[in-house]
Amino acid sequence: MAQDRPTAAELLAAIADFLRDEATPALDKSEPRLGFQMRVAVNALAILEREARLGPAADAREQARLAGLLGRDGTLADLNRGLARQLRDGGRDESDTALMAHLDATIADKIAIANPKWK
């Protein structure tokens, strides 16, 4: 059973903050190559933190949009397979405004997790 506090997202953020604010500057002075590797690790932790915090709601929104597009319920994976099948079979294409709105929203949620500074 998970603990109430700190949450997984809070733990990941605390680790990333420590590594970014304290460990990385020390490594930059003594071992620049390791400082760079630490920045890569900190970025990965930040992605994990955002995934833990934002991912469940993003997945729920995607699943709801897919259910509406496909006119049926199912798991997120099942619905995505159904959409992929329709795309492969030519049942949907870029002229489908509902599809394009779904893809725009899904991509925006994924970017918010992977790299929120990207515009």
Report pLDDT digits (tens) over 16-62: 999 999 999 999 999 999 999 999 999 999 999 999 999 999 999 99
Sign of CA dihedral 71, 76, 80, 81: negative
Cα dihedral 17→23→27→30 (10° resolution):
150
The tokens describing 91, both together, are 């049942």
Q: Which two tokens stand for residue 25?
A: 């500057």
- Taking all residues of the chain, what is their mean pLDDT, rounded to a whole number? 94
- Side-chain-side CA neighbours of 72 within 13 Å: the count stands at 9
In this prediction, residue 119 carries a pLDDT of: 66
Furthest CA-CA distance within the chain: 59
> Rounded mean pLDDT of 6-22?
92
* Mean predicted confidence (pLDDT) in 69-77: 98
Closest CA to 76 of 63, 58, 57: 63
pLDDT of residue 1: 54
